[in-house]
Structure 1
Amino acid sequence: MKKVVLSITILMVLLISACGNGEESGQNAEVPAILEVELNLPEEELQPGAEVTLETYVSQGGEAVEDANEVKFEVLKEGEADSEMLEGEHQGDGLYAATMLFAEAGSYKVTSHVTARDMHNMPSETLIIGNASEVEAEDTDAHSGESEHHHEHEGAVTVELQSDVEPQANQENELSVLVKEKDNPLTDAKVSFEIWREGQEKHEFIDAKETGNGIYKAGKAFESAGNYQLNVHINKDHLHEHQLFTLTVK
């Protein structure tokens, strides 16, 4: 009888110890460091016809990221609606690069889209090709005579998710956003939803339809539960904006 009691006592001590270690490990679990993306563009004056190397340095917690799922460079010329997307190639030591020939003078918005370790980051910088003062003067002339709506700059466009209900897996879900420009509904824009599950490389693009008053909707059936990234792209005239959201699918 004493041996039975002793065995039960030892078992209880082991269970309590295991639970304590589990709680301690849970309390000590570290939150992943933010994915840092540094976009590097040439600082010297560049002339039309220049072949330019676009570089981005990716790190996390002070260490270079060598296993990024996807690195792309999006280049949009001021005054144009369509952008060009370039694949970034891994150079080593957290550096990814792509080369592009800039045939025309102008102001270009360069955005580095980086997906790595279940995170997404997309910093933007401006690249000037040609004489900077002449390019600025041309941009000013191009926008003079346009309505106020047509010469908004970055930061004037906002995107709001309209549904408070969490999407459900294995059924059709309605994704809805309200797009505003300086607090006014932005209408007649081309809006698309870029969707991918965290940790996966495959990105899906869905065109959204405008239902009126700046609201754009599209249906999406998620194959499984988990965290997804929703990148909302807005294009109208020279405007090209995007805003990233995280969706938790149940």
Structure 2
Amino acid sequence: MKKLLSLLIVSIMITTGCSNEKKEPVVEKPVDVNILLPTSDINLNKEITIRAEVSQNHKAVSDADEVQFEIGKNGEDSIAMLEAKNGADGIYSATYKFTNPGDYYVIAHVTARDQHSMPKKDFKVQTTSSTSNSNGEKKEHASHSGNDHHGDVMIHLMGTENIHVNKENLFTIHLMTNDEKPLEKANVRIETWKDEQAKHDYTDAKEVAPGEYEVKYTFKEKGTNTVKVHVEKDELHDHTVKELTVN
């Protein structure tokens, strides 16, 4: 009888102990939203495409509940709320035409996977994409090379958060044309450096899906580093530059 009672007490203690164990909460990765605007000038009375790239843990989120673009002029109330259309690779887009020049902003309202994100981006709307010199001749905006073609491709670099020194980091590069088609079979590479006097490294990226390229790189120094994405295909030669912090 005593033995049976002892076994009963031990069983109760084990059951109580198990029930008191705390379960580790499941931490959901945050949903990242990046607003993509045309790389060329935004001009009056010209329809542009505004895009939001939605991802979670570096993977495209194509099942967002709602994506809207709020457009407004700095210092004033918003002037438009656009419903975005779902595109490929987690990219949502809407078109808009500006009728007044000035400084504007766009806020992407994204609801996805029980999370809400509201990133904001400022930009300028100009009256024209060219200026006149003293002789009245039109002069196009300068680019980094006379043979470069800008504004034909949207370049988005992902994987720039939580970068650590002496650890291989994976970057994902998405390329899309202005008519919302992935840019395939391009020559893509990244140029990296710590400061202008330091050595510049060049690393080729590999296309893993239509318009999606991946490249791995290991930073040797902490602090602010620069990554420059080069894109070349036929007559197209474009780039984008981003500074990131290496921990």
- Provide the TM-score with structure 2 as the length reference: 0.44
Select the structure that is richer in helix. Answer: 1
- Provide the TM-score with structure 1 as the length reference: 0.43
